[in-house]
Structure 1
Amino acid sequence: MSVTIVIPARYASTRYPGKPLVELRGASGAAFSLIQRSWMAAKAVSGVDRVLVATDDERIADHATGFGAEVAMTSTACRNGTERCAEVLGQLAPEPEIVVNLQGDAPLTPAWFVEDLIAGLRNAPQAGVATPVLRCSGRMRADLIADRMAGRVGGTTAVFGHDRQALYFSKEVIPFAAGEFGDDDPSPVFHHVGVYAYRPAALRAYSGWDEGQLEKLEGLEQLRFLERGQRVLCVEVQARGRQFWELNNPEDVPRLERMMADMGID
């Protein structure tokens, strides 16, 4: 089953303009841009046939070509990464059986997150889209709550049913859970990892739907599937001792750099 990873990247981010070109320093002090680190993470995933950076911005395209990435140019009309992946799908020949959207702000995504996601979609032939979720430790849950209390939009959380089908995604910390959790204790909160695997039919359907009300309110593209009554499979992944965070705000740069230093990632 052929797999293509698409890394959507846009320059005109509302919260963080130019984010894909921001440099992150690793444990040794080596600096690579956010988009290059995301591309490096994608290239580390096994069983993938092709990796592309998808953008509508020449600055990002030139930079990505410079470090060796294949680039697909898309229109400025794309409102989110899923729409950009859908547009790229029309440029791919032969058409892959699975398209993975590895968003360009998650350079710490371990390869096994994506490998487990692909396996999860392959093992659920009825599913058109799947996404990974990671159980939060008490420390990660506390970090998410601290971001919200400070008025920052941090990570996204997910709730799902016994069949692993998503019930909702939110930038609020859900579900509510009374009490405290130790730093290393598991909590009932699941961090939504910003990666998606789609079958081509699901991507084509998505691009034909208007934005949903909840999608607009939360700023979460995956809610369009739920608002249209489409199932989203949540695939639980394991941290295996790795720290994970996404770059959403300028304040996240030192946080990610500390994590890379702690984990010895160059």
Structure 2
Amino acid sequence: MRIASKLAIAWRDDERRPQAIRIKSLSSGLWSRLMAIFSSSSSEPSGTGTRAWILHGLVLGSAVAAAAAGGYAALRRFGKFRSRAVGIIPARFNSSRFQGKPLVPILGKPMIQRTWERAKLASTLDHVVVATDDEKIAECCRGFGADVIMTSESCQNGTERCYEALQKLKRNYDIVVNIQGDEPLIEPEIIDGVVQVLQRTPDAVFGTAVTSLKPEDGPDPNRVKCIVDKFGYAIYFSRGLIPYNKSGKVNPQFPYLLHLGIQSYDSKFLRIYPQLPPTPLQLEEDLEQLKVLENGYKMKVIKVQHDAHGVDTPEDVEKIETLMRQRNIL
């Protein structure tokens, strides 16, 4: 009982320190009642001290929880929580919708170069690499100065390609950002945003971004839609319009959300992801992020202003080039 009492006193004293990192998992009223029972149990014979041992465990468990929370808070305080981030740009030549897409010229430069140059402007990334299974893409990227990691052709999606690239990196990273190679106008601030959201949200292992969906893009299956809860965690992604109303028509007054391709992962989770079997919703929608949600992991979503979109079809190239001319990005 002496150890438990000391723990209780230490925790109580810690609450009085103005600069202490602390957590209180019990209400003050319940805590007082527990302490009263705890004190009375000390006078019981050793053979009837069951309550004392239970309370000993409660106090010890609470102290451990406080220490763990304090450790996390200390990491946050000194900037060491998920501090190192790498940006990986997955790129493959064979695409069902647009063959050779990473190498298509965008105002005179390969699209993969445009994306890489934008990613290099992000302040939160310690390193940026291109991950590809195609030697033509690799040669092109090395030509403009990018670091390249060769990955296998068996990767089913960009997340698996990021995982394989992570295994081959010489340094350890806490956060991996999957930067879609077909986003030549991705803002560096969005990249920084999906890094910072994981640094601020310890229960999330996956971060991503959305922007407002234009009503005319509602029926387009190439524009992935997203719905979130009131705390900013993802509920669902779909190629169809979500939410869907009874009229079956796009409601121009509703704030639909368009999913942007960029994704960030806790590196420990990324090592688990390939081991998770495909899930029904993931396969039906052909959206890899649904496997994360179906397995019960939390995904934090940030909303940003972003009026461009990725290059999904050859027709999108002209739209992107028009936007670049308007913004004087040459």
TM-score scaled by length of structure 1: 0.87
1:95 aligns to what?
A: 172
Q: CA deviation at 1:179?
A: 6.7
1:263 aligns with 2:327: yes
Q: 2:208 aligns to what SS in structure 1? A: strand
**Separation in 1, partners of 2:242, 2:323:** 24
Number of equivalent positions:
245
The answer to which structure has the higher helix fraction is 2
2:311 aligns to what?
A: 247
**Separation in 2, partners of 1:173, 1:255:** 23
Contact 1:2 1:96 in 2 (8 A): yes
Q: 1:134 aligns to what SS in structure 2? A: strand
Alpha-carbon spacing, 1:179–1:226, altered in 2? closer, same or farther (3 Å): closer
Bigger Rg over Cα: 2
- After TM superposition, the structure 1 = structure 2 runs for residues 37-116 of structure 1, keeping only pairs within 5 Å, are 37-116=114-193
Q: CA deviation at 1:34?
A: 1.1
User: Deviation per CA, 1:13-71, whole angstroms, max 9, x where unpaired?
Assistant: 1111111111112xxxxx11111111011111112110000001101001110111000
Percent identity (aligned): 37
1:221 aligns to what?
A: 288
- After TM superposition, the structure 1 = structure 2 runs for residues 110-129 of structure 1, keeping only pairs within 5 Å, are 110-129=187-206
2:241 aligns to what?
A: 173
Structure 1: 5+ residue stretches without partners: 26-30
Letter in 2 for 1:3: A
Task: Choose between structure 1 and 2 for higher RCO, CA contacts under 8 A separated by at least 6 residues.
Answer: 1
User: Deviation per CA, 1:168-201, whole angstroms, max 9, x where unpaired?
Assistant: 11112322366764xxxx8511111101111111
**Separation in 2, partners of 1:189, 1:145:** 8
**Separation in 2, partners of 1:263, 1:91:** 37
1:188 aligns to what?
A: 255
**Separation in 2, partners of 1:94, 1:261:** 38
Q: 1:253 aligns to what SS in structure 2? A: helix
Q: 2:156 aligns to what SS in structure 1? A: coil
Letter in 1 for 2:322: R
**Separation in 1, partners of 2:170, 2:142:** 20
2:218 aligns to what?
A: 145
Detail structure 1 runs of 4+ shifted over 6 Å in the superposition: none
Q: 1:225 aligns to what SS in structure 2? A: helix
TM-score scaled by length of structure 2: 0.71
From 136, 141, 159, the equivalent of 2:227 is 159
The answer to which structure has the higher strand fraction is 1
Q: 2:288 aligns to what SS in structure 1? A: coil
Q: 1:107 aligns to what SS in structure 2? A: coil
